[in-house]
Copies of this chain bind each other. A is one copy, B any other.
């Protein structure tokens, strides 16, 4: 068995040292030293992933390495911040070399694509737990904040939310794909669940175009509420406008809605922009190579004292839909 230090060294520190460019001081000292670009702020986000909660015990470690960083890069994307680096703290039941080799490969393949350096970390024995903290750079006045939406803004979403939740449902046996595309659909859903793509390029392209933004980690219905609460607004969503992947469209309509509205783990961006920015939003999406869809409108609160900002769900004809879905809460049942 490798000792802690040689294990960290082989799979993380050696690699980190080879790639250290931006940090003035990286792995191997008490602290790393980094700075945002001149005139910019450091954007910081942290996410903890726990076995049995965020991934299955038998998850492919390569996919887990990818996803652990992807969900953190997604937070940078949602602020319009450019990735700089990250720290990795992990508890491992025992240091298995094959597991670490695959995990670190998945992690660094994504890190390299976004030029995001490993600058520090901690490793200990314990129930499998991954905690990443990611650092990006953004001008303070260009950051896409949750409290920046305004009355009348369009509401947009990237990609096709719901596919990750559909993948989880297939793995759990909640529903099955069928027909000629059954196997391809399963592969599509699993890829959405295991290899989410952080929308970093879209977040960067939306600076100066979008107002508020966040990433969909807990589901559109739950996450959108965060923008509503912080911006003190209400929203109307055209449920028929929700972009649905061809694979998800082949599942029953009720499953589609459950996945697209209450499914977590998509890491697509939900953002608002002024009506006169529609062409600019489309241009940003094209530049980033990501599909975006306009799904609704922000509106003033009917009563400023309303305790819970409301989302009005409507169909394409404008008729109200009664949906009692919500984003999942980690201390409640999913």
Contact = CB atoms under 8 A, between A and B. Distances in A.
B48 A91 contact: yes
A252 interface: no
A132 to B, nearest CB: 9
A33 interface: yes
A46 B120 contact: yes
Query: Which among A30, A53, A121 has the highest number of chain B CB atoms within 10 Å?
Result: A30
The quantity of this chain's copies bound in the complex is 2
Contacts of A2: 331
Interface string A55-84: 000000000000000000001101101000
A134 B203 CA distance: 26
A119 B45 CA distance: 9
Interface string A255-286: 00000000000000000000000000000000
A30 B215 contact: yes
Interface stretch (A137-145, A184-192, A242-250, A304-312): A137-145
A54 interface: yes
A90 B135 CA distance: 19
Contacts of A31: 43-45, 75-76, 78-79, 81, 136, 143
5 contacts: A2-B331, A30-B78, A46-B88, A47-B89, A126-B127
